[in-house]
Chains A and B, each alone.
Chain A
C-alpha cells in the first residue's frame, strides 16, 4: 500500500471512495484546494469540532471507511455556508450527506436522534413534536393556552407513501 496513516495504521480504501464519488456524480464536489474557508465559517466547528476541510482531504486520499463509521459526520448543522462560499464550488455539505448515506447502507450506528426524527415524521408529518415551552417570564405554555389551533394530522396514505419512498431510495 502506498499510503498508511501511522496513527491508526489505516490504509486508503479506493472502493469506498468510488462509492462516494458515484453518489456525488463525479469529482467536482470534492475538488478542494484546502483554503480552509469552510472550516473558518463552520457552524458546527466551535461546539462539535467538525472540520469540513479535513473531511474533503480524507475522502480525496481514500480514508473513507474511518469517516463513515465516525460520529463526526453526524454533527453537520446543514447551514450550507460552505456550499455558498467555497471558491472551488466544492461542497463539504454534499460530501457529508454522501458519507451519511454510505453509513446507513453499511448499517453503521446512526445517532438515535435521527431515527427519532424519522419516526416523528411518520407519525405527525413534523420533524419536531409540539411541546410545552418556558417563556422569558418563566411561564409554561403550550399551543392550547396560546389559543393556537391543533396541528392537523397527515393524510391517511401519508405513511404508506413515506415508507415506499424510503424503500425506493438506493
Chain B
C-alpha cells in the first residue's frame, strides 16, 4: 500500500503566522494513505530535509507531499533531497501554502487554515497517482550563436571563445562595436571609449574560435536547447572582403552622398563607405538603395571600380543564407535611443540648437563631425551657455515609465567634457528631477561635476522657445530656492533614455523568448535567473534585457557566457521528463496537436504495425516544453503530459470539492 508522508513547512512566520500549521498537520494524518505528517520551521533547511530523508530511508514513506512555498522556489531542492534517498524524485508533490495561502489571505487566518487543509488534501490525492519518471540525456553542440556585436556580444564571444567554444557572432551593421563605438568618453573614469573598445573588436576579428558575420541577420531558428539549427541571411557588401584593404580610395570618388548613421546623420558619407574610423572588419560597403549602378542596374558610374587598386568591387554579389548548428544562444542586440521629436514641448527636430545626448557624443568625439569641438549647431561657435534636460522620454508615462539608468551619468560626463573642452566662462546647467548616481565611483563623479562649476537646477522646464537668432530660452522653477527663473541657452542637450530595440519583437519570437511590459527581453527570474530567457538555452546580455551602462553590460555579458559554458561544457544535458507522451492506440491521427504546438514538437509518423497507412502523432521529446496545449486539445485524450495526466489532475479536482456542500439545484 502507498505510504504518503506529509511535511508542512512553517517558513518562520511566513506560513505559520497565518495558517494554523498544527491543525493542518493533524488533519493530514486523517487522510487516506498518509503514514506520517510532520511540521518544521524551515523544511528547506538541512535538518528539515533530513527529516524527510530519514522517514524515506526507514521505509515509513514511499511518496512525499511537501506543503511549503511555491514550487518555482524549492521544487528542485526537494527533488534532489528525495533522490538522495534512492526514491524516484518525481514521486514528490509540492503544495503551495505560502504564495497561494498565507501571503494571499493574511487577514483571514481561519479561512486560510481551511484552504490549507483543502490544498493538502488535493496534494495527497494526486500523490497517490504519481508515477516514477526518468530524466533523459541528449548530446549538445559545443558551439554558440551570439546575436549582436555591441560590447555585450563582443564580451560574451571573447569569453566563450577563450573557453574553447566555437562562436558565431552575427551583427546587423557592417561593423561590430555597437553603441559604445559611438561614444566619446565613458563615465566615471573618462576613459576614451574607442581606446578600450577597439582592441576588443580586433580580438574578436582575429580569434580562431570566432566566426564573425557582419551585415547579417538571424532569419530562422529550429531545434531545441543544445541542438539549435540557425539560418543566417548575410546581405552582400558588393565588395570582396578578401581583397578589400580598407584604403578608402573608393569612397573619395563616389559621387553619391547619404546621411551617415554612425554620426547620427549629422554628416554625410558616400554610397560606398567604411562604417566608421575604427570599423572591424575595415571593409568598404555599398548601400544598394543609393548606389547609382546598383539602383539603376545599368553600366553607369562605376567610379569606385576604376579607383579600386585591389579590384575588390563586386557588383554581382548575392545575399547568402548560412546554416549553422549551435548548442546555445546569447541574445545581445542592445537598445536604441529615444526619439525626442515625439516630445513636442522641447522642440527637438524643430530647433537646431536642441540636440539629443547621443548627438552630443558624436559632436564631442574626436572622429566626429566637428573633430571634437563642442559647437552650437546654428552658429558653429562654442556655446556660451549649455543646458542639459534630464529624463526625456523616460520616467514619463506618456512614453516609457522606467528610469533609463544611464541618463544622469551620461549628462554628468557630458557636462564635465563640455567644461573641459570649451572656455571656462561658459555656463553649464543641468535641469533634473532626481539625480541618480548609484554605481561604484558614480557619486564621486557627481561631486567632481559640482567642483567644476556645473550648476544643478531642481526642476524641469515645461516648454522651450526659440528666438529669431536661434538661441533658446525657457522658464524653469527650482524647488530648492522656490523661484521661477528664465534661462537662455545656445545649446540644449536632451537626456534621452534607452528604449527597446525595434528588432526585439522579431527576435523574441524567433527564439521563443518573451518580453516584459516595458518592451525589453524578459529574464527567467528577476533576481535568481537574470541572465536566462524563458526559453531553455537562450541567454540575455546587455541592454536588450533592460537599460544598462557599460560596466553592467560587460558584467552581464560575461555572466551569460559563463551560463552557456555551464550548459554545454559536459557535452550532454539532462532533459526534464515532464513532456507530452502519446498513447498510440488512442491516437486517431487528426493532426490537431501538430497544428497547435507552438514549439513544433509533434511529428506525424506512419503507423507501420497496421495494414492501412495511418499517421500517428509522435513527440520529439527534446523539443517539447511540456506546455500542455496538445493535451487539452486532443479529442481522444491520446496525448498527455507526464505527471499531469487526466486521472492525476481530475483526482485533484475531485478532492478539491470533497468537503463542499452542494448549493442550489433544487
Q: Which residues of A contact B (CB under 8 A)?
A: 33-42, 45-46, 51, 53, 81-82, 85, 87-89
Provide the residues of chain B in CB contact with A51, threshold 8 Å: 477, 482
CB <8 Å contact, A41 and B463: yes
If A33-B433, A36-B479, A40-B484 touch, whether A89 touches B462 (CB-CB below 8 Å) is: no
Among A37, A42, A45, which residue has its beta carbon within 8 angstroms of that of B460?
A37
Residues of A within 8 A of B476 (CB): 36, 40
- CB neighbours (8 Å) of A81 from chain B are 462-463
Q: Map CB proximity to A onto B470-505 as digits: 1 under 8 Å, 0 otherwise.
A: 000011111100101000000000000000000000
Contact stretch, chosen from B171-179, B300-308, B393-401, B590-598: B393-401
**A88–B477 contact, CB under 8 A?**
no
Instruction: Tell me, rounded to whole Å, the shortest Cβ–Cβ distance linking A57 to chain B.
Output: 9
Q: Which residues of A contact B462 (CB under 8 A)?
A: 37-38, 40-42, 81-82, 85
Does B639 belong to the interface (CB within 8 Å)?
no
Q: Is B458 an interface residue (CB 8 A)?
A: yes
Chain B residues in the interface with A (C-beta under 8 A): 345, 391, 395-398, 433-434, 458-463, 474-479, 482, 484
List 3 A-B pairs, minimum CB-CB distance, nearest first: A41-B462, A36-B459, A87-B396
* Chain A hits for B459, CB < 8 A: 35-37, 39-40
Which residues does chain A contribute within 8 Å of B484, judged by CB atoms? 39-40, 45-46
Q: Is the CB of A88 within 8 A of B397?
A: yes
Task: Give the complex CA separation of A39 and B476 in angstroms.
Answer: 8
Chain B residues closer than 8 Å to A82, beta-carbon distance: 462
Question: How many Å lie between the Cα of A35 and that of B392 in the bound state?
Answer: 12
The answer to whether A34 touches B397 (Cβ under 8 A) is no
Q: How distant is the Cα of A34 from the Cα of B458 in the complex, in angstroms?
A: 9
Chain A residues near B433 (CB, 8 Å)? 33-36
In this complex, which of A33, A53, A87 has the most chain B Cβ atoms within 10 angstroms of its Cβ? A87
**Complex-state Cα separation, A46 to B462, whole angstroms:** 14
The reply to whether B477 and A40 form a contact with Cβ atoms under 8 Å apart is yes
Smallest CB–CB gap between A119 and chain B, Å? 35
The distance in angstroms between the C-alpha atoms of A33 and B433, with both chains bound, is 8
With contact pairs A87-B395, A88-B397, A89-B398 given, residues A35 and B477 touching in the complex (Cβ less than 8 Å): no
Given contacts A33-B434, A45-B484, 17 further A-B contacts (CB under 8 A): A35-B391, A35-B459, A36-B433, A36-B458, A36-B459, A36-B476, A37-B461, A39-B459, A39-B477, A40-B460, A40-B462, A41-B461, A45-B477, A46-B484, A51-B477, A81-B463, A88-B397
Measured CB to CB, the nearest residue on chain A to B399 is A87
The residue on A at minimum CB distance from B463 is A41
Cα separation A85 to B396 with both chains bound (whole Å): 10
For A89, list chain B residues within 8 Å (CB): 397-398
Q: A89 CA to B400 CA in the complex, in Å?
A: 12
A34 touching B479, Cβ below 8 Å: yes
User: A42 to chain B: which residues have CB within 8 Å?
Assistant: 462
Residue of B nearest to A43 (CB): B462
Query: Which residues of the partner chain B approach A34 to less than 8 Å between Cβ atoms?
Result: 433, 479
> A33 — nearest CB in chain B belongs to which residue?
B433
For residue B479, which residue of chain A has the nearest CB?
A36
Contact across chains for A40 and B398 when beta carbons are under 8 A apart: no
Task: List chain B residues, Cβ under 8 A from A85.
Answer: 345, 462-463
For residue B482, which residues in chain A have a CB less than 8 angstroms away from its CB?
Answer: 51
Q: A36 vs B478: C-alpha distance in the bound complex, in angstroms? A: 8
